[in-house]
Structure formats: structure tokens, C-alpha cells
Structure 1
Amino acid sequence: MMFNLNAGLASAGRHLVALASLVGKHADTLSSDKAQADRVGLVAIFARLKTTIIAMTLLTLTASAASAATGFYVSGRSLKDANGNNFYPRGVNNPHIWFDSQAYNVLGNLAARRTNCIRIVWSRSGSASRLDQILQRCKDLKMVPMVEIHDGTGSDNPNDLISNANYFARTDVANVLKKHQRYVLVNITNEWGSYYKSAYDWKQAYKQPITIIRNAGIVTTLVIDGPNWGQNYAPGVQYGQELLNHDPRHNLLFSVHMYGSYNGSTSVNDAMRAYYNANLPLVIGEFGYDYNSGNNNLGCRVDHRKVMQYANQYGYGYIAWSTQGNDSGNAWLDMMTGWSGTTWWGNEIYYNNTYSIYNTARPSTAF
């Protein structure tokens, strides 16, 4: 609620100052009787505005406190935890839905590396009971779980978004999310929208899913991937505020994935700076690196160190892809071997640079 109320407070404050100035400017130039009448009228208006401002301020503080009490929320470009402290995700994607036992058992290893956020690769086929166990394990290890539905990846069909929203709103799943709402994040759909999806259609398609999830009583931060397989940052900048206004909780975190579309020397900075200048919250939900001089299945030559550096500079989070379990074409993105050892990519993400997870991650104070 803070976004709309702050605008109202600013407007009311400007009117208050203008009226006070008007009283001072014209009091001496009016006839005594007329001046007295005008002053009485202006003072009455002044008093009503003052009362309104006080009420709006209290409502703003109440809304902020309510958000803080129930879980994560956004304020401007910042993601805040249930205690009102900034939280900067530093984490990895973990394929729970495809490698159930391995992904679950590796969580302790990831926590020991100071991971503070786990993007849980999930599906509508996943049971609420197993999701509950995973979220509880993340809580015990003080890692923030971000649950993402992989069904609908790259789809242009809005029904896929609606189906995923209905999964989160399903009574048993919604109850699990409410149980863990103090520290869970909900990523509605992984990379919905192909390279051909327009910014307008992307924005319109997300409105109904947001409403479905909120109507189910889920209040935590909802994460929205950009279109073009997550790589187009511009629609979020253009329509992010409209989507925030549509959400009755005003609690959305936008996500950009960085692969081949971010090979340019300035493209990583351009994307983060655009969100920063628009005062919008952002997380880099996936990213890769320059493997084999770009001769890979994703055409990826991303400077991953710049991703991590700029995320730190702008106060945004990053979540690298991925622990292990990629197919042969994507195996270069595995961070682990045997679900315990560390590959070159894993060392880059965790240890080998100034802005690595081990060097910059701080746990949420919500635990």
C-alpha cells in the first residue's frame, strides 16, 4: 500500500504548503471583514488537510507494519524481509522436481557455502507435502526458498500462467505457502513468453494470475520473469509499476535471466541501471557465463563477474543456474559434480571473485 499512499501524502502536503502560503500572502491585502472570513475558511480547510495527512501517515505505517509481520515485501527498489531489513538474494537454482532426493540432500552443502536463497525448480505435478518438507528444510538452514513453476517455460499461452497460479492457489498448496509465508518467495512461472511476446501482452497476461494468487490469501512477494525466455528486461521497466498497482499487496519482484542476450559489453549494466532508475525491485533469477567462447547451445558469452558486480553495486540479488542435473547440452552450467564436488563454474559463483556468494551473502533476518 505504501506506493499509492506516498503519492497521496506528497500531493496533500503540496496543497497544505500552498494554502499556508496563500493565507500569508493575501491576509494583509483583503478588507478586514473579508479577510477574517477568508482566513476562517482557509483555516478550516487547513485543519481538514492536516487531519487527512495524519490519517494517511498512520495508514501507511500500519500497512508497512502489516507487510513486515507477514513476510517479504518490496519498498521502491528494495526487497525487505519480515523484520523490515533489506534482503539481497545470493543463491542458486536447484532442480528439486527432477532430482528429488539429490536436490533435497544437497541443501545442507549449499547452506555451508553461505547460500542465502534457493530457487526451487518445481512443477504442478509436485505434491504439497513434499513442498512443505523442502520449505521447512530451507527454513532450518536459514536459506530463503523461491518456488518457481517450470511448466509453461517459453510458452505464449496465458492459460499456462493461469494454471500455475491455480496450483499455488490450490487449498493444500496455499496452506503450505501460508505456513511458511514469513520467508518464502513465489515465482509464478519460469520464463513465460517467447521471443515473440510483446511487452503489452506480457503485462496483460500476468494480471489474472496475480489476482488468483492474492485471492487465495497468499501475501508474500510474487516474482515475475521477463518475456523472451526471461531475457527481455524492458517490459518490466515499462510496465512494472502498472503491475505493482494491479497487485493489491503492491508486492512484486521482477526477474531477468542473463544468457546470450547479455553478451554485449554494456548490456548487463544497462538492464540493472534501467530498473534502478525506475525505482523497481529486481533479481537476476538465472545467468550463465562465457563457455567455449560462446560456442554453446545458448550462444552465451555473458561476463558473469559483471553480473555479480553490478548486482552488488545496485543492491539487487542474483541466483545462478544451477547446482547439477543439466542435460548433456547444458552440462557446462553444472556447479557441482556428484552433488558434492565443485566445478569451475561452481567455484566462480561461490568463491573465486570479490562478489561471490561466499564473500557477499548475508542471511535474512526473518529466521
Structure 2
Amino acid sequence: MARAAGSVGFHVVGRNLVDANGNNFIIRGTSHAYTWYTSQNASFANIKAAGANTVRVVLSNGKRWNKTTPAEVTTIINLCKTNRLICVLEVHDTTGYGEEGAAATLAEAAAYWREIQSVLTGQEAYVIINIGNEPYGNTNATGWIADTKGAIASLRSAGFKHMIMVDAPYWGQDWGNVMRDNAPDVFASDPDKNTVFSVHMYGVYDTAAEITSYVSSFVTRGLPLVIGEFGFNHSDGNPDEDTIMAQAQSQGIGYMAWSWSGNGGGVEYLDMVTGFDPTKPTSWGTRVISGANGFRETSVEASVYGTPVTTTPVTATPVTPTPVTVTPTKTVTATPVTPTATPVTPTPVTVTPTSTPGAACSPVSATISAPFSYDGAGSFCWKTSSLGSYVNSWNMTSLTINGVSFTNKWASSGSFPAAIDGYWYISYSAPYAWSHFEAK
């Protein structure tokens, strides 16, 4: 692959990300949940002080959360530049489209980028546009191909010269290999040939073989890849973070850990620091910052900032974080797709009852049938004669089935309690609009 056509900032050369000075750049960063924590701007300096060279910033186009305004985006870019960080900006509202009913389309995300284009133009040396976070769930994921091409075309026709980053479908994990198998076609559709592919690695990638196979498929074809999110644990499995980071380093590809701080709903362990306080790193933060192949060992500042400087942590504003998170992924189920690489089967969770089995909730709010899903705050009692092949939930206060807790976990039908007179009674209690339960 040649240098990206007409590039004025970050551009693709072969499979490498190259900065405006013509030097290779390997992303080492984390995500900052700006759209839910708009006052935590000290995080930019603290992320830099931790050794990162990039921050991925969560924005909203207004579909699901408060729209991030052009003035806010300008402030974010300036904070990135002040702290000598490369800014990856992403619209989070697209998360799980096709399966998540409230999600925005990639076309809607592209419209947002066009709406704020005036504050992005001229920032191509510092900003990478991540069109939309995890833009398809497990349903009709092949729609990702045309929708991604369409979103790229929308930006290019508007005159964007930025490097574009596109997330994979299947909640970012691409377990059905739609992005992997169609990456050459999607890349070719970009008239500027300046698109980078982003896979999110959680429970699907729990073995070294799966990680190595996926990364190698891009490396051997000369396609640009970054690991746009990953964790060391998750409700859908236990990702192999050591291999993820080692592969990123050995193959010269970028990674961005999820996330700096502010997670809730049972995945607080994905915070790198507690309460946005850089003096309180978690075990996950310590692993990413100072562990093998971590920030301290492998991060190199982008050459557009000139001579590297040393930064020190900024005292964080004391907060009691409102638990807010969009679960970065979902388990590998729903519509089965036969992978063309190593098949991945989620490991069922063994459920230990936390209350008396055989208890039916009451009064019954509604009778449901699988497949069924619900997002939102509230308390309900649902009755069903069939739960399908699995259940999954996140950001819940409590989720019980016939008195057995399935709170914030995935479990197969083999873990379901016995029916009560032919029925299962689902007690749902959740505090957030993004709380989720499904039986499929």
C-alpha cells in the first residue's frame, strides 16, 4: 500500500500508522469516558503522566447521551495537544447497533462528524476519527460492511482528510470475522486509503492462539490494525491480556486499554485508577502502565510534538463516581456464525444460588418469550415458559431467575434453575438506561 492519498496528518503506509512528520507511530493509550464525566479534564494530564501517547475519548452524538458540542470537542483537542497526546475521538452511541435498540447508526455518527467538521479541520496531525464504537452487535452483523463503507464515503465526500478508524462488529470483537474477511474491500473503498481497523479484545480472545491468529491475519496481508479496547477480565470471559500486549509489541501495532476510570455496574475492575485519582492505580492500571509491554516500557510520544517532555500527575477532583459504563462487549452468542478462523465457544458460567431456589417473583409485570431483551432502569417481574439457550445481563442491581442470581453474567441453559409449574420468573432490578438483560 502506498501513502494515503492527500493526507495532511496521520496516514497509512503499508500496515503502519505514520504521523505528519513521516514517522511511524504505535498507539499506546487508554479510553477516557468524557461524555459521562465532563468535569474530569485532569485525566488528560494524568493519562500522559502514566506514560500513554494516545487517549481515546468517548463522545456522544446526542442519540443516547448528551451531545458533545463543538466547543467541548475543541477543548478536548486542546487538552490532548497541551498534554502531547494523540486524540482518538469516537462516537459511543453506535454501540451494539442492530441488537441494541437505542443505538445510533453509522450514518448518524457520520452526520455528527460532518456537523462538527469546522473544529476538526486543521487538526489532522493530532486527531484520528474513530467513526463509531462497536457499531454492530451480534445481529445482522454483515450489515457492517456496507454501513462502514457508507460512513467512510460520507466523511471523504465532505472533505475530511483525517485518518479514520473503524471498529469491528459483534460488539467490537469480530468473532464472526466480518471485519477480518472484508477489511481489504473496506480499505479499498476509502479514496484516501487512510482507514485503520480496530478490534476489541475481551472474552472471545482468551487464548494465545486466538489472539495470534487474528493479529496475524492483518499483518500477513499488510492491513493496518489496532486493538482499540481490551481488558484483563470481563463478564464474557477472561481475555489473555499478556498475549494481547505482547503481540501488539512484537507486531508493531497499537493498543488502547479500557479504560482510565469511571466504570460501574459490576465492571469496576476495568478502571485503571480508582475515582480518577492517579495516586490510586488498580491492579489493571498497574499492569498496563508498568507491566511487561506496558506504557512505561513501550510508549513513544508522537514526533509531531518534537522533543519528548516529562509530565507529572495532576491532582484529580475528588468524586464519588456515578457508576456509568457501556459494557465494552457482549458474549459470543445470538445468531450463530461459522468462523473461518479458530471457532470460539463461550465458557458457561457456573451459577451459585444467592437466594432460595424455586422462588417466584410477584406480581408478574408481563409474560415474555425468548428471544427477549430489555434495556433500561426499573424493577420488573417477568414470566416465561422458555428462556432460550442463554441469558446475559450487565449494569444490573439484581437479576434473578426463580430465585437464583444471574446478575451481570452470561450463563447457558445448563445453568438455569428448575421451572416452577412450567415457568421461569425473572426478577429484574436496574438503575441505568443502559442496564441490559437478554434471553435468547
Contact 1:237 1:280 in 2 (8 A): no
2: distance between equivalents of 1:303 and 1:364? Answer: 28
One-letter code of the match for 1:108?
A: A
Aligned residue number for residue 289 of structure 2: 350
CA distance, structure 1, for counterparts of residue 12 and residue 158 of structure 2: 20
Task: Deviation per CA, 1:176-229: give whole Å up to 9, x if none.
Answer: 111312110000110011113344x21111121111111222111111111100
**5 Å matches for 1:124-203?**
124=61, 125-156=67-98, 160-170=105-115, 173-199=116-142, 201-203=143-145
8 A Cα contact 2:32 2:43, kept in partner: no
CA RMSD of aligned residues (A): 1.7
Alpha-carbon contact 2:97-2:104 (below 8 Å) kept = no
> 1:136 aligns to what SS in structure 2?
helix
Q: Which one has a bigger Cα radius of gyration?
A: 1
Partners of 1:147 and 1:266 in 2: CA distance: 31
Which one scores higher on RCO, CA 8 angstroms, separation ≥ 6? 1
Partner of 2:300: 362
Alignment of 1:235-250 (within 5 A): 235-250=178-193
Between Structure 1 and Structure 2, the one with more helix by share is 1
**Is 1:117–2:19 an aligned residue pair?**
no
State the TM-score, normalized to the length of structure 2.
0.64
Distance 1:277 1:311 in 2: 14
2:23 matched residue in structure 1:
85
Give the gaps of 5 or more residues in structure 2.
62-66, 306-440
Shift of the 96–264 alpha-carbon distance from structure 1 to 2, 3 Å rule, reads: same
Query: What residue identity is the alignment partner of 2:146?
Result: Q
- Aligned equivalent of 1:71: 9
Asked if structure 2 preserves the Cα contact closer than 8 Å seen for 1:288 and 1:304, the reply is: yes
Looking at secondary structure, tell me which structure has more strand per residue.
2
How many residue pairs match? The answer is: 294
**Secondary structure at the residue paired with 1:261?**
coil
Paired residues for 1:1-367 under 5 Å: 3=1, 66-67=6-7, 70-102=8-40, 104-124=41-61, 125-156=67-98, 160-170=105-115, 173-199=116-142, 201-232=143-174, 234-290=177-233, 298-340=235-277, 341-353=280-292, 355-367=293-305
Give the Cα–Cα distance (whole angstroms) in 2 for the partners of residues 175 and 91 of structure 1.
26
**Aligned partners of 2:141 and 2:170 also within 8 Å:** no
Percent of paired sites with the same residue: 33
Deviation at 1:244, TM superposition (A): 1.6
In the aligned structure 1, how far is the partner of 2:263 from the partner of 2:275?
12
User: What are structure 1's unaligned runs of at least 5 residues?
Assistant: 7-59, 291-295
Supply the AA of the counterpart residue of 1:146.
V
User: Secondary structure of the equivalent of 2:228?
Assistant: strand
Native 8 Å contact 2:95 2:104 kept in 1: no
